[in-house]
Amino acid sequence: MNQAVVTPLTSPLAPTSVHRENAVVISGATKGFGGRLLFENLDLSIRRGEFVALLGASGSGKTTLLRILLGLDTLDAGAGEVATPRAAVFQEPRLVPSQPVWRNVLMGIPRRRQHRQVALDALAEVGLAAHADAWPVTLSGGEAQRVALARALVLEPALLLLDEPFAALDALTRLKMQDLVRRLCGRHHPGTLLVTHDVDEAVRLADRVLVLRERRLTLDVIVGEARDSTIAAGARLRSRLYAELGVDPLGREQAPHSSAGPRAV
């Protein structure tokens, strides 16, 4: 079993008490760049095993929040803790071209676990065991992303951060990759945060969808029942998310959005 440890997001801010079942707990999170606030006083928790999608307009701060959770950036104010180990998959696979696939898979794990068989098992999970000795340059975009996913999961992350990992893939590969990620997250049980622009993707994959808008999480909606009950319920949920994002999927003119404050449904 994965022995998650807890890492404060910011020091010397007082840490919150993250329970072992939580992958993320942050409160009052505030971040800006050059005098522009991206988000302010934001609260977020993600449980282990929970798949959360984060939607928001371009530039709203989604990647910045993900980078903070990954430890690549810090909050300006607020407190938070994340369970570790953490792993991430980005839009680009970020493989090391001078190393064969199996060595790429092992790159983030401790030396004592760096055995070829560990890589082969991880590659088998993403259907790429036969490509273990291939060079990254010979892989398709979808295959390279599956290697990146294997490299993330071999860490047995308590928190998995996905920053638009399907965005560069063709439509069919994207659907297959989404199913794979969902299946493997169910098996490995990390808390997962998926940053995406794609409402359909969020509804297809997530247990919960958040919308970051105007410096706040203006929507925090449980997806499961709406997605799984009827087609109409799923469509209503997607419409609601599009409306929250101020977008009409059919390209009709939108009335200016007014948001009274964070709402949960």
Residues that bind ligand ATP (CB under 6 A): 33-34, 38, 56, 58-64, 197
Strand duo 5-8 + 77-84: pairing: antiparallel
Minimum Å distance from CB 166 to ligand ATP? 14
Which pair of structure tokens corresponds to residue 210?
A: 């958040």
Q: Which of 232, 175, 224, 231 is nearest to 198 (CA)?
A: 175
Query: Do residues 22 and 83 lie in contact, with contact meaning Cβ atoms separated by under 8 Å?
Result: yes
Strands (E), the chain: 5-8, 22-33, 36-47, 51-56, 77-84, 86-89, 159-163, 191-195, 208-213, 216-222, 263-264
Give me the phi and psi of 70, to 5 degrees please: -80, -10
Minimum Å distance from CB 197 to ligand ATP? 6
Minimum Å distance from CB 219 to ligand ATP? 15
Cβ proximity to ligand ATP: between 56 and 93 the closer is 56
Cβ proximity to ligand ATP: between 174 and 188 the closer is 174
Cβ proximity to ligand ATP: between 34 and 97 the closer is 34
Minimum Å distance from CB 261 to ligand ATP? 20
Cβ proximity to ligand ATP: between 18 and 38 the closer is 38
Q: Cα(7)–Cα(158) distance, rounded to whole angstroms? A: 11
Q: Which residues contact 206 (CB under 8 A, 6 or more apart)?
A: 51, 52, 53, 194, 223
Minimum Å distance from CB 56 to ligand ATP? 5
Minimum Å distance from CB 14 to ligand ATP? 26
Cβ proximity to ligand ATP: between 104 and 192 the closer is 192
Cβ proximity to ligand ATP: between 35 and 261 the closer is 35
Q: Cα(38)–Cα(225) distance, rounded to whole angstroms? A: 31
